[in-house]
Structure 1
Amino acid sequence: MSTEADDRPPFRLDHFLVNLAARGLIGLALALPYRWRVGFGGWLVRRVVGPLAGYRERARANLALIWPDRPEAERNAIADASLDNAGRTLIENYSTTAFQARAAATEPQGPGYAALIAARDEGRPVILVSGHFGNYEAARASLVARGFEIGGLYRNLRNRYFNAHYVRTMEAFGGPVFPQGRAGTAGFVRHLKTGGQLVLLFDQDVPTGAALPFLGRPARTALSAAELALRLKAELIPFFAIRQPGGLDFRVELDAPVPHGDPETMMRQVTAALEERVRAHPGQWFWIHRRWKGRARV
């Protein structure tokens, strides 16, 4: 007879030890006052984790690919800012109570906010789509504080020990969260069909995606957010949480809903909205991702 334990991946000492170290550092950061811990999280990823894990090298390579004409010193500064933002984002997401309190004080802006309110009041579904920029969870927390039931979709991490508490941090923001896969897809479709709202992040490489231009280079992009919006007659609203000077607060912007059409055209518009923010605040996008992983080598 099979059991739940039988279905678990085999024990991996390296993953177990990495999780122990990560939990220790997160615990150390959480012992600090909020302002200090967020700064410490940024410093830790920028100065220690990023260089050791190869994230700084990857960010610099991506920047050299996209902006080869910019001075190297400028690209390096953007890479460091990106690592700092990633570290701040991680520890913010573990600081549930304090982070939610700050996010609750942030009033969303933009034409998409009125469209979101109207859809909720009329019982129509909404897909909020964004990229790994600023801290996207700040927008979800701000909206949850205003009575929205914002669901989330996540990709399970390879390290199952770290993944267990990582998922709990997302659940703590309120609103249901669903894992990628058949069961998760069924869950968030049901949530949308009842007039719920869902957050999707679209800016990671998808081998089966369409080659859409992103920052001047083709990037394999999933069309699923647009396809789902068309299938369920849902609003598709780009949103962004832009980190403000000082590094602790955010401006939450919701763009006007993307007009329904063919999925590729819709996702081109979503991509253009992200490009606009990345160009304005380049250090807030996660350059550490392999966004152009499937590009042709030149």
Structure 2
Amino acid sequence: MSTDTQPRKPWKLRLRDGFLSAGVWLVARLLRLQSPQFSAWVGSFWARAIGPFTPIHKAALKNLALAYPEKTEAERREIARGMWDNLGRMAGEFVHLDRIWQYNMWEPAKSRIETTGVSNFVAMRIDGKPALVFTAHLANWELPAIAAAAQGLDSAVLFRAPDNTFFADLLFGARSQVMGNLVAASHVAVFELAAVLDQGKHLGILVDQARKGGPIAQFFGQPCTTNPTIARLARLYECPVHGVRVIRLPEGRFRIHCTPALNLPRDAKGKIDVDGSMQMITSVVEDWVREHPEQWTWFYRRWRI
């Protein structure tokens, strides 16, 4: 007798997922034949055409109204259109993850990537210590993990797999070719993350989504929950915490910036304060988003309490 307790999806949903998977596979194969810039343009075109008519566009506008009450509705809609442009470009670039990294520090004009804060990255690579690195859903957020692997940083990445097995396999297959170790988010992931740090590796975590029951922080002047995993690991291992951001530039180029290690707040016993650290990290992400709001994913339920 089967011990599988997972409910089976209704046939209509399975049929929908099957057609969707087949369509994505075909589009990905066709885009793979094109250049990353052309694929990004195709993704942008369709995202800008379809995105504003979806329910998640309304969620994005609602969040923008919370974050930017001082802006006009027209200004917020313009940011949302920029969001769809960025998401479409990222989708088009995804099929080229193994080609998108073009970096030459000696001849920047020939590079797709430009970097700032390189000394902070080099320090991480040569100090012999584990480190925690946070980033956010900005521009093409796959690039920090690709950069770490390409530049020889022994690293692992925490990721959340989609429910659709086709998409989960597609994402894992593409990422595993160009990134370090991949750790799927689960109830046992914390043990894998601890093992990564025990081995002296560097761990990358996206920190800009809500976490039920997590510490409350202020984000754009509104309370939101945060995922305290990175702060708890920093408290446990006393390892440095850096931020890495990506900025999308014209003509298919990107800028990657690595911050110095944050001076995280501590409690009366001298241990890293988890709640205070999550506020500091959230404030850093807010500054990033404010600089390029059109490059962030505004439809997440970020202010869910």
**TM-score (structure 2 length as normaliser):** 0.86
1:275 aligns with 2:286: yes
Q: 1:196 to 1:103 in 2, by over 3 A?
A: farther
2:34 to 32, 38, 45: 32
SS at match of 1:289: coil
* C-alpha distance after superposition, 1:148-181 (max 9, x if no partner): 1231111121222211111222212221001011
The yes-or-no answer on 1:69 pairing with 2:67 is no
CA distance in 1, matches of 2:167, 2:7: 13
Alpha-carbon distance change, 282 to 124 in structure 1, aligned in 2, over 3 angstroms: same
Structure 1 contact 107–142 (Cα < 8 Å) conserved: no
1:263 matched residue in structure 2: 274
Is 1:10 the counterpart of 2:8? The answer is yes
Does residue 140 in structure 1 map to residue 145 in structure 2? yes
Which residue pairs with 2:258 in the alignment? 254
Question: Counterparts of 1:80 and 1:102 in 2: how far apart (Å)?
Answer: 29
1:271 counterpart letter in structure 2: T
Question: For residues 96 and 9 of structure 1, what CA distance do their matches in structure 2 show?
Answer: 34
Letter in 1 for 2:180: G
Corresponding letter in the other structure for 1:282: P
**Would the alpha carbon gap of residues 31 and 9 (structure 1) be closer, same or farther in structure 2, given more than 3 Å must change?**
farther
Q: Per-residue displacement from partner, 1:21-68 (whole Å, max 9, x unpaired)?
A: 2223333332322211111112222212x2354232221121122212
Q: Is the 8 A contact 1:130 1:238 kept in 2?
A: yes
Which residues of 2 match residues 85-124 of structure 1 at below 5 A?
Answer: 85-101=86-102, 105=111, 106-110=113-117, 113-124=118-129
C-alpha deviations, 1:56-92, integer Å up to 9, x for none? 2221121122212212111111001111111212232
Structural mapping, 1:130-279, within 5 Å = 130-246=135-251, 248-260=252-264, 261=266, 262-279=273-290
2:141/2:246 contact within 8 Å kept: yes
**1:132 & 1:29 partners in 2: Cα distance?**
23
Q: What do residues 236-258 of structure 1 show as CA deviations (whole Å, max 9, x unaligned)? A: 11110111123x11111111212
For structure 2, the residue ranges without an aligned partner over 5 or more in a row are 106-110, 267-272
Q: CA–CA distance in 1 between the matches of 2:259 and 2:130? A: 16
Higher helix share: 1
1:103 to partner: Cα distance: 8.9
Q: Over residues 261-287 of structure 1, what are the superposed CA-to-partner deviations in whole Å (9 max), with x where a residue is unaligned?
A: 201221212111111111111101111
Deviation at 1:132, TM superposition (A): 0.6
> What's the secondary structure of 1:227's corresponding residue?
helix
Q: Contact between 1:120 and 1:196, CA under 8 Å: does it hold in 2?
A: no
Cα distance in 1 for partners of 2:27, 2:7 equals 25
Q: Secondary structure at the match of 2:92?
A: helix
Q: Which moved more, 1:207-216 or 1:140-149?
A: 140-149
102 and 91 in structure 1: CA distance in 2 versus 1, 3 angstrom threshold:
farther
Could you tell me how far 1:182 is from its partner in structure 2? Answer: 3.7
Residue 119 of structure 1, CA deviation: 3.7
Distance 2:178 2:7 in 1: 28
Structure 1: gaps (5+ residues): none
3-state DSSP of counterpart to 1:108? strand
Shift of 1:102: 5.4
With the length of structure 1 as denominator, give the TM-score of the two structures. Answer: 0.88
Q: Percent identity?
A: 27
- What letter corresponds to residue 136 of structure 1 in structure 2? W
